[in-house]
């Protein structure tokens, strides 16, 4: 969405168009961010078939680890965990969410287990018939939640991007392509990102989807280096609805804007504020302002420098006021 237009010559008698004022742009950014602010975040964590005892135990532990972190984080959330799920259980639960979620809600679906890719279709390995990436995408498309995040930590998960990508949906995959078929370690570090304060790199007491991705990606790389092994997985993120996933999402490639403003868990003071009904409105306002700042940064290249400075300053001042009120 553009809030500014360059001056153009109008028809005879028309006044030339001018850049909109700083207050107008600030209002536009805040209105836009309000559209993305979820009322409830629904977390659905699904572990698939392990195939052997070690994997069965690992996948179950990862799912319960994520569940524990999400429940401790507080806020207006609903946490659903399906362990060793079947295709029909997944279909039934997602269909149930489609009936009761609202457009203002947010949805996070995390897949843990083994995946497969035959060059055409990605499949999530579950007990009984597997479920395909296309089938998962169709189920998610029917859920009204406007903002969605899919975290596919399985082997061959990169093969699911083409089916899952969509406007306002963030897709994180443990592998770059469907041909990276080894069991992954990315899931371990994604789970760790949800409980380790080190993942909060901007120190705002929230771990965003982008921060969790970068944390898990870095930890995965360190694992292979420490083990002196050739890396068999390369995680990617896609949130434009049209890309193939980026190893290094940022303003230069357009990826990561949605992920940077998608708060997964709250830490420290924010977690305490989320449990305090009197402070929840302030916390929501803080989220709104931080999302507006993130969007403004991604639009920097298309905005005159002075206008960008004015808007950023206004947002930062307002954010400081909200933070001061939260700290009282």
| pTM more than 0.85 | no
Q: How is residue 127 annotated by DSSP? A: B
Beta-carbon contacts of 246 under 8 Å, excluding residues fewer than 6 positions away, are 236, 237, 238, 253, 255, 256
Tokens of 121: 């279709």
Could you read off the pLDDT of 55-69 as tens digits, one per residue?
Answer: 999 999 999 999 999
Of 125, 96, 110, the C-alpha closest to 63 is 110
% of the chain beyond a pLDDT of 70: 83
- pLDDT at position 81, please? 97
Could you read off the pLDDT of 102-134 as tens digits, one per residue?
Answer: 998 999 999 999 999 999 999 999 999 999 999
Q: How many Cα atoms are found within 13 Å in the side-chain-facing hemisphere of 226?
A: 6
Place of tokens 């930062």: 316
Q: Tell me the mean pLDDT in the region 172-184.
A: 97
% of the chain beyond a pLDDT of 90: 62
What count of other Cβ atoms lies within 10 Å of the Cβ of residue 95? 12
Residue 74 above 70 pLDDT? no
Residue 29 above 70 pLDDT? no
Where are the extended beta strands (E) located within the chain?
41-47, 77-82, 106-112, 115-117, 122-124, 131-132, 147-152, 169-173, 206-208, 236-238, 263-266
Across all residues in the chain, what is the average pLDDT? 85
DSSP 47-90: E---SSHHHHHHHHHHHHHHHHHHHHH-SSEEEEEESS-BHHHH
- pLDDT at position 273, please? 67
Least confident of 185-189, 226-230, 243-247, 282-286: 282-286
Band of residue 5 on the pLDDT scale cut at 50, 70, 90: very low
Residue 79: Cβ-neighbour burial (10 angstroms; 0-12, 13-18, 19+): middle
Residue 219 above 90 pLDDT? yes
Distance CA 74, CA 149 (A): 19
- pLDDT at position 38, please? 41
Q: Tell me the mean pLDDT in the region 152-181.
A: 97
């Amino acid at each position: 969405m553009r809030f500014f237009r360059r001056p153009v010559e109008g028809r005879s008698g028309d006044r030339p168009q001018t850049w909109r004022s700083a207050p107008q742009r600030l209002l536009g950014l805040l209105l836009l961010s309000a559209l993305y602010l979820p009322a409830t975040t629904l977390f659905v964590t699904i572990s698939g078939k392990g195939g052997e005892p070690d994997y069965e135990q690992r996948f179950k532990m990862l799912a319960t680890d994520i569940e524990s972190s999400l429940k401790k984080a507080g806020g207006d959330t609903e946490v659903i965990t399906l362990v060793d799920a079947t295709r029909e259980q997944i279909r039934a639960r997602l269909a149930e969410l489609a009936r009761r979620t609202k457009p203002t809600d947010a949805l996070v679906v995390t897949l843990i287990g083994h995946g497969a890719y035959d060059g055409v279709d990605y499949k999530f390995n579950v007990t009984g018939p597997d479920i395909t990436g296309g089938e998962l995408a169709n189920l998610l498309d029917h859920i009204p939640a406007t903002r969605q995040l899919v975290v596919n930590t399985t082997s061959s998960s990169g093969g699911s991007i083409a089916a899952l990508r969509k406007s306002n949906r963030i897709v994180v995959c443990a592998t770059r392509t469907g041909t990276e078929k080894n069991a992954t370690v990315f899931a371990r570090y994604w789970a760790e990102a949800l409980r380790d304060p080190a993942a909060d790199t901007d120190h705002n007491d929230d771990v965003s989807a982008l921060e969790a991705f970068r944390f898990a990606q870095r930890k995965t790389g360190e694992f292979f280096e420490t083990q002196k092994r050739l890396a068999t997985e390369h995680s990617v993120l896609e949130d434009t609805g049209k890309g193939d996933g980026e190893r290094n999402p940022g303003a230069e490639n357009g990826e990561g804007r949605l992920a940077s403003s998608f708060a997964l868990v709250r830490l420290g003071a924010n977690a305490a504020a989320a449990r305090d009904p009197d402070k929840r409105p302030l916390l929501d306002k803080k989220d709104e302002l931080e999302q507006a700042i993130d969007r403004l940064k991604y639009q920097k290249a298309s905005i005159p420098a002075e206008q960008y400075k004015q808007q950023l300053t206004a947002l930062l001042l307002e954010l400081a006021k909200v933070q001061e009120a939260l700290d009282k």
